Structures are given as structure tokens and as C-alpha cells.
Amino acid sequence: MLLKNKKQLQQESEQAKLECLETLKKNLTVESLRILASKSGKKGINKKIKQFQHLI
């Protein structure tokens, strides 16, 4: 039983790590798009990024 709990905890820990990495990847992608948009000088780009960031 203890071994099963340890294995389950390891699996949950790995899943949490993967979710954390996925969140970081999305946030970095959105931030990168914002930086590129600010360098392009086009207006309204940040609004579009915010509108569609859930798809990234």
C-alpha cells in the first residue's frame, strides 16, 4: 500500500511538472508575441494577442 501511494505521488508530481511547463510555455509565447508587437509599432496588436491568447 505504501509503495502504491509513493508511485501515485510520483505520477502526480510528474503531471504537475508537465502542467507547470505547459503554462510557462504559453506565458512565454504570449510575452514573446507582445514584445514583437511592440517592436512592430502597429496599434491594436496587443488587443488581438489578448483576444486569442487562449488558443496558444
Confidence at residue 36, expressed as pLDDT on a 0 to 100 scale: 83
Q: Taking the CA of residue 44 as centre, how many other CA atoms within 13 Å lie in the half-sphere pointing to its CB?
A: 0
State the Cα–Cα distance between residues 18 and 16, nearest whole angstrom.
Answer: 5
How far from 30 is each of 4, 38, 43, 46, CA to CA, in Å? 39, 12, 17, 10
Confidence at residue 31, expressed as pLDDT on a 0 to 100 scale: 84
CB within 8 Å of 49: residues ≥ 6 apart: 30, 33, 34, 37
- pTM (2 d.p.): 0.57
Confidence at residue 42, expressed as pLDDT on a 0 to 100 scale: 75
Q: pLDDT tens for residues 3-53?
A: 678 888 899 999 999 999 898 888 888 888 888 888 887 778 778 777 877
pLDDT at 1 over 60: no
pLDDT at 2 over 70: no
